Amino acid sequence: MAIKKKTYSFRGGDIIDTEEYHDGKYGAPGEKRIKRKKATPEEMERVNKRNKEKRCRQRMLTYFREGDLFATLTYKVEERPPDMASAKKDFSKFIRKIRTEYKKRDVELYWIRNIEMGTRGAWHIHLIVNNTGDTASLIQKVWEHGGVYIESIKDSKSYDEDFTKLSSYMTKDGKTTETKKDGTEGKPRVKESNYSTSRNMPLPEARVKKMTRWKKKVKPRDGYYIAHMHEGINPATGYRFRRVTQIRLNRRI
């Protein structure tokens, strides 16, 4: 059985992602396999969440840079929407006005957002948007329902060099918990959420390669270092998988 390796290249090759997993129903000679089992609903939720984070992160790496913006749009108490449908309408009206201003500047608008209702009833919208130079003032002007807090992506508390943390933060939902200082899991802070992106952000295609052996050790490419690596067992197949992020040492961005 072959090992399938998918390779994604971002930012002109400054960031390289690889995914390795067994491709087929049967193992190669000498390959140990964990007993296959039906994935539980909890395991499927984790897989779905991980895939959503992956797609969010890939869009960030493809369409956004450190100078772009991370904004939080809040609601006054008296302006809080009665439900998610109303909050989505508020955002749609807001982003149409922003898009109109971008067209006037001959700039294409890219955005990622998550509408969240907290466990205490407060609403807010997290938004990542490409910066035209005066985007911050445009957002302040157009959002009419409450306060606006804006910072550069690089200054966000969830920023890291390959957007892993920020993508996790942007895709959190009602089942996402935060780890306390003592290492224990806290209660979810989001009761309801709705994640979406602009439609003009297709994901990059992977370069696919088949290998015959599972390499026990991963070495970085020349001129790169390994920023993140995750290995595990796919509960549905019983075989191992691996995800690796490598970053160029002297990257241009």
Contacts of 206 (CB under 8 A, 6+ apart): 6, 7, 8, 19
pLDDT of 29 reads 45
Residues 204 and 59: their CA atoms lie apart, in Å, by 8
Share of the chain above pLDDT 90, in %: 66
pLDDT of residue 14: 93
What digits encode the pLDDT tens for the residues 13-39? 999 999 999 876 544 445 555 555 676
pLDDT grade, residue 215 (50/70/90)? confident
Read off the pLDDT of residues 161-182 as tens digits, 9 standing for 90 and up: 889 999 999 999 888 867 666 6
CA distance linking residue 49 with residue 47, whole number of Å: 5
Mean pLDDT confidence for 212-217: 86
- β-bridge pairing 15-23 and 111-118: unpaired
Over the stretch 126-151, which tens digit does the pLDDT of each residue have? 999 999 999 999 999 999 999 999 99
Q: What is the pLDDT of residue 181?
A: 66
Residue 63 has pLDDT above 80, yes or no: yes
Q: Which two tokens stand for residue 134?
A: 């005066």
Within 13 Å, how many C-alpha atoms sit on residue 186's CB side? 9
Q: Please, which pLDDT band fits residue 191 given cuts at 50, 70 and 90? A: very high
Q: What is the pLDDT of residue 242?
A: 94
- What percent of the chain is predicted at pLDDT more than 70? 89
207 beta partners:
7
Query: The tokens 């241009």 sit on which residue?
Result: 252
pLDDT at position 26: 46
When comparing pLDDT for 51 and 185, which is higher?
51
Q: What is the pLDDT, as a whole number, of residue 90?
A: 98
